[in-house]
A = this chain, B = another copy of it.
């Protein structure tokens, strides 16, 4: 099994999930040492979970397999370039690398917001279409101070 074989399996997961009416046409796999340790397809509409994108589902599945919140020495294969949410999830899971098939522009052409969200991220919080305002920074920073002084904190 090489990169192309695993990527083709991710594309097939996309097709199966779509045909089963689980969600959008997206699939992903996590592979470690040549073994598949996590699988996912989009399940947004069937599970009422807007975060259930293929990559997030595959990452969560792989982490449960490993009993750890990090995907060291793993490769993530995905049928489409990750959206910002999934790219963020990938950075937090820290696999070694990513292999993807369709691009974010291809996803946009199929009716998905990926490219739009990439554009919104670079706007100032107050200028985004979902606007954000800030308050009570000092109180929240007090909790960060407690965290830094917590002797048994587990970092991630």
Contact = CB atoms under 8 A, between A and B. Distances in A.
A125 B99 CA distance: 10
Interface of A: 3-4, 7-8, 11, 14-15, 18, 21, 23-25, 44-45, 48-51, 53, 56, 59-60, 63-64, 66-71, 79-103, 106-107, 109-111, 113, 116-118, 120-122, 125, 130-137, 139-141, 143-144, 146-148, 150, 152-156
Given A8-B139, A135-B7, A89 B15 contact: no
Contact of A121 (B4, B80, B121): B121
Interface core residue of A45, A51, A67, A92 (most chain B CB under 10 Å): A51
Which 10 pairs from chain A and chain B are nearest by CB?
Answer: A85-B88, A101-B140, A102-B140, A84-B88, A98-B132, A110-B144, A50-B92, A25-B147, A50-B93, A101-B136
